A and B are shown apart, each in its own frame.
Chain A
Amino acid sequence: MDQTEAMGRMIRIGSGQGFWGDDLEAPVRQVEEGPLDYLMLDYLAEVTMSIMQKQRQRDPEAGFARDFPPLMERIFARCIEQGIRVVTNAGGVNPPGCGEALVEAGRAAGVGGRARIGVVTGDDLMDRLDALIEGGHELRHMETGEPLAAIRERVQSANAYIGAAPIVRALEEGADVIVTGRSTDTALTYAPMMHEFGWDADDHDRIAQGVVAGHINECGAQASGGNALVDWWTVPAMEQVGFPVIEAHEDGSFVVTKHPGSGGRVTRAIVTEQLLYEMGDPREYITPDVVADFTSLALDEVGPDRVRVSGVRGSARTDFLKVSIAYADGYKAVGTLVYAWPDAAAKARAAERILRARLDRLGLAFDEIRVELVGWDSTHGHLAGPPPPDLPEVQLRIGVRSGDRGAVERFTREIAPLVLTGPPSVTGFAGGRPRVQEIMAFWPALLRRDEVEPHLNVRILEV
């Protein structure tokens, strides 16, 4: 038996979005420019859930990735005709709303009567929060240990990170497109593997292999040459970068590649960089379905733009699911001005001093005032050293944060006056006053999985 036979049947799972705001053309290229069995689209990040929550507060029909239904309208017919099934967490804090919009998109795309949409719900804990707390679940902050009760009245959304099970169920029920809320990013890739290959829940190594595949797919082109530091100047045709395609085998091993003829690059070093992204303890990469050991995997370049991943070991899942809670935590605003040579940095620092004194004289209280000189120290801080006297220009960037909206509001009116009442050679105020933003902070906690899993539900909508 050759190696290919030992690896078993193969399916292709392409990545089409790495975050909400990613390349709108990428999923279209994925389904048009090469073979695919599944398309996964990751729209969610810690920050995204709170943004969607704000949108739902303004409009009860919002709260999902608005880009997704119009995207499906473009690719729906092709996906149905070629049998490409789509798995996404675009549902955000409103999967049913996303499902409804998808039905409309499907009809507009001419797939009425021949497409099914699976909508996964039950990850949303908002309505159950008080009952959970009364039932003894303290939902302590995973880093500070503080119980959720301390900020309960400020909570805006609470969602459990859920695993593959409801996606697998929706696939079994024949859904062509599956929309979830806070599914883990990785589950969007390994749920199709579990479904296709019939892996058992206790098949830890193979599911862990799927988790690694999911980690590679979840950031889109970051695994195929985008935002990769290694030899970035040699990566070809990024204007039409091929997003990653996982060729997954029944035995759990897989090859990371991209469609032939697309731009970008897949090498061992580029895949390594993506594996390290948002990594915690590599020996214990915890997901709802398995704990994967990233120190056990092997990477092999097996051809141009082809990296084989094998050997991943996994162990049993924990009894807990992570919960993502967003809560209102005050206000912030950021203002900027640009100072030009000569002595650009000195002018910006003098402006900072004057502004701070004015804020003091106004008696405004802030939890934090942060000043950066963009073009000098905004990303490397003191490691950038002192600015050279001939720095051609610098952007002064001042941010403030406070529980008092009024204080932040007043701050936004103190930037423009610096143009005529501060150091010279200043410009770049065309954008108007800075905007006051309400802060939605993130509260990670753990909850027993048996408090969540019985509530998970899959609803099939016929287009």
Chain B
Amino acid sequence: MPKVQLVDVAHARSGDKGDTANVGVAVYDPRDWELVRGALTPERVREHFGPLVKGEVERFELPNLHALNFLLHGALGGGGTVSLMTDAQGKVLSTALLRMELEVPAEVAERVRGRGRVPPGFDPGVAVDG
């Protein structure tokens, strides 16, 4: 099966509580919910982060939002004020998760590839219209 990255099918936001980071992941298209729900087991997420997460990974489901929430314990170098990390509050840990590779059916790969990235030719110097 072809591979895509999680960034192609989901968006995410992360935050902190002490030394624990949370990463919330929501799919763009409800059609991909079961796929993401099945692929992102706590074990798989734990393995993906490797040494970036010292403790356990907990997972919670929000089917109403087609979203998952992960708690990454011991991910912030001691937390907010203690941490020496640039990302001491885990603000962009969400994007590290979005690097994860997923095997998906060909028609899904075709549909989602590039979804989460700026389109070719995007010029950040030009204002967008509402």
Binding site for B on A (CB under 8 A): 45-47, 50, 143, 227-230, 233-237, 263, 269, 272-283, 294-299, 329, 332, 334, 368, 370, 372, 374, 378-383, 397, 399-401, 439-442, 444
* Interface CB pairs A-B, < 8 A, 26: A47-B81, A47-B89, A143-B18, A229-B12, A233-B118, A234-B128, A236-B128, A273-B11, A273-B12, A274-B13, A276-B22, A276-B25, A276-B67, A279-B24, A279-B60, A296-B64, A329-B81, A332-B84, A374-B86, A379-B93, A383-B50, A383-B96, A401-B82, A441-B79, A441-B81, A442-B80
Q: Is the CB–CB distance between A372 and B15 below 8 Å?
A: no
Q: Is the CB–CB distance between B129 and A236 below 8 Å?
A: yes
Q: Is the CB–CB distance between A383 and B28 below 8 Å?
A: no
Give the interface SS of chain A, mostly helix, strand, loop or mixed: mixed
| Nearest CB in chain B to that of A274: its residue | B13
Docked Cα-Cα span, A183 to B28, in Å, equals 35
Q: Is the CB–CB distance between A50 and B116 below 8 Å?
A: no
Query: Whole-angstrom distance from the CB of B74 to the nearest CB of chain A?
Result: 9
Would you call B26 an interface residue if the criterion is a C-beta within 8 Å of the partner chain's C-beta atoms?
Answer: yes
Q: Is the CB–CB distance between B13 and A229 below 8 Å?
A: yes
Would you call B124 an interface residue if the criterion is a C-beta within 8 Å of the partner chain's C-beta atoms?
Answer: yes
B26 / chain A contacts, CB cutoff of 8 Å: 269, 272-273, 276
Known contacts A46-B80, A229-B94, A233-B122; decide if A397 and B86 are in contact (CB<8 Å). yes
Q: Is the CB–CB distance between A143 and B84 below 8 Å?
A: no
| Nearest CB in chain A to that of B20: its residue | A143
A282 contact from B16, B69, B86, Cβ within 8 A: B69
Docked Cα-Cα span, A298 to B78, in Å, equals 36
A279 / chain B contacts, CB cutoff of 8 Å: 15, 22, 24, 60, 69
Query: Whole-angstrom distance from the CB of A220 to the nearest CB of chain B?
Result: 14
Q: Is the CB–CB distance between A46 and B86 below 8 Å?
A: no
Q: Is the CB–CB distance between B64 and A297 below 8 Å?
A: yes
Docked Cα-Cα span, A235 to B86, in Å, equals 27
Known contacts A332-B84, A382-B50; decide if A276 and B69 are in contact (CB<8 Å). yes
Interface residues of B in 58-95 (CB under 8 A from A): 60-65, 67, 69, 71, 77-82, 84-87, 89, 92-95
Q: Is the CB–CB distance between B60 and A283 below 8 Å?
A: yes
A444 / chain B contacts, CB cutoff of 8 Å: 17-18
| Nearest CB in chain A to that of B96: its residue | A380
Q: Is the CB–CB distance between A379 and B92 below 8 Å?
A: yes
Query: Whole-angstrom distance from the CB of A269 to the nearest CB of chain B?
Result: 7
Known contacts A236-B128, A237-B127, A298-B64; decide if A381 and B11 are in contact (CB<8 Å). no
A273 / chain B contacts, CB cutoff of 8 Å: 11-13, 24, 26
B11 contact from A229, A263, A439, Cβ within 8 A: A229
B60 / chain A contacts, CB cutoff of 8 Å: 279, 281-283
Give the interface SS of chain B, mostly helix, strand, loop or mixed: mixed
Query: Whole-angstrom distance from the CB of B33 to the nearest CB of chain A?
Result: 12
Would you call B51 an interface residue if the criterion is a C-beta within 8 Å of the partner chain's C-beta atoms?
Answer: yes
Interface residues of B in 15-66 (CB under 8 A from A): 15-20, 22, 24-26, 28, 48-52, 60-65
| Nearest CB in chain B to that of A143: its residue | B18
B25 / chain A contacts, CB cutoff of 8 Å: 276
Docked Cα-Cα span, A374 to B95, in Å, equals 16
B93 / chain A contacts, CB cutoff of 8 Å: 379
Docked Cα-Cα span, A380 to B53, in Å, equals 11
Residue tally, chain B, CB below 8 Å to A: 55
Query: Whole-angstrom distance from the CB of B31 to the nearest CB of chain A?
Result: 15
Task: Encode contact with A along B82-119: 1 for CB under 8 Å, 0 otherwise.
Answer: 10111101001111100100000000000000001011
| Nearest CB in chain A to that of B77: its residue | A370
A378 / chain B contacts, CB cutoff of 8 Å: 85-87
B64 / chain A contacts, CB cutoff of 8 Å: 295-299
Known contacts A236-B128, A277-B13, A295-B61; decide if A379 and B87 are in contact (CB<8 Å). yes
Q: Is the CB–CB distance between B85 and A294 below 8 Å?
A: no
Q: Is the CB–CB distance between B18 and A230 below 8 Å?
A: no
B80 contact from A47, A237, A272, Cβ within 8 A: A47
Known contacts A379-B87, A383-B96; decide if A277 and B24 are in contact (CB<8 Å). yes
Q: Is the CB–CB distance between A276 and B24 below 8 Å?
A: yes
Docked Cα-Cα span, A440 to B82, in Å, equals 7
Known contacts A372-B86, A380-B95, A382-B51; decide if A278 and B15 are in contact (CB<8 Å). yes
Q: Is the CB–CB distance between B82 and A441 below 8 Å?
A: yes
Known contacts A46-B18, A368-B84, A442-B18; decide if A269 and B28 are in contact (CB<8 Å). yes
Docked Cα-Cα span, A44 to B3, in Å, equals 42
B17 / chain A contacts, CB cutoff of 8 Å: 46, 278, 280, 444
B28 / chain A contacts, CB cutoff of 8 Å: 230, 269
A442 / chain B contacts, CB cutoff of 8 Å: 18, 79-81
| Nearest CB in chain B to that of A281: its residue | B60
Docked Cα-Cα span, A299 to B16, in Å, equals 25
B85 contact from A269, A297, A370, Cβ within 8 A: A370
A374 / chain B contacts, CB cutoff of 8 Å: 86
Q: A439-B81, A442-B79 are in contact. List 8 more A-B contacts (CB 8 A).
A: A46-B17, A229-B116, A230-B28, A272-B26, A280-B69, A370-B84, A370-B85, A378-B86
